[in-house]
Amino acid sequence: MFPAFKRMVTPLLREGFEKLEFESDGRVTQYFTKEEARNIIGTPSEAILSKDGKYLESQIRTQVKIRKPCYEGNAKWGIQYKKAVDAKMADQEWLDEFQTGRVDAPPGSSLIVDLEEKVPVDGAGEQNGDPIYTIKKVHGVVPPWHQMRFGEEF
């Protein structure tokens, strides 16, 4: 798709914009919807262009595997989401509970989370950097899978 055309429909990814219309002699001759703009640009339907136009933002409810937790402070967590990535933990209440031992997440655990993905884009809506991840809310811990031994009781 031509970069100029992508730039033209990119405003439809912003909140509050639903349709882009073209008029000739006072009549609408062509229009594009928000969904058509997403298809043209090639973005997921849940992505919204940030107010500054620099990121496509998605809010995703998903399960991520903990690769590297943060036991002190606010360092990024290593998680497995699509691939190994680092994510900021914004759920301070859950983080405090985890870091003080009131929530257990043993090695191999996963988290059910609301994950924010911010993909940097240029003026044509093309990705121009690595996504930035933030865990906005932790909804639960999924303990690691455990295979029972023969004869072991439930």
What's the CA gap between 145 and 82, in Å, rounded? 20
User: By residue range, what is the domain housing residue 14?
Assistant: 1-42
Whether residues 16 and 79 fall in one domain: no
Whether residues 132 and 91 fall in one domain: yes
- Residue 26's SS3 state is coil
- pLDDT, one tens digit per residue, over 64-79 is 999 999 999 889 999 9
Whether residues 36 and 50 fall in one domain: no
Q: pTM, whole model, 2 decimals?
A: 0.69
Whether residues 83 and 146 fall in one domain: yes
Instruction: Look at the chain and report how many structural domains it folds into.
Output: 2
Whether residues 73 and 112 fall in one domain: yes
Whether residues 2 and 49 fall in one domain: no
What's the CA gap between 21 and 6, in Å, rounded? 15
Whether residues 72 and 122 fall in one domain: yes
- pLDDT, one tens digit per residue, over 79-102 is 999 899 999 999 999 999 999 999
Which residues is 19 bridged to in the sheet? 33
Which of 107, 99, 102, 111 has its CA nearest to residue 64?
A: 111
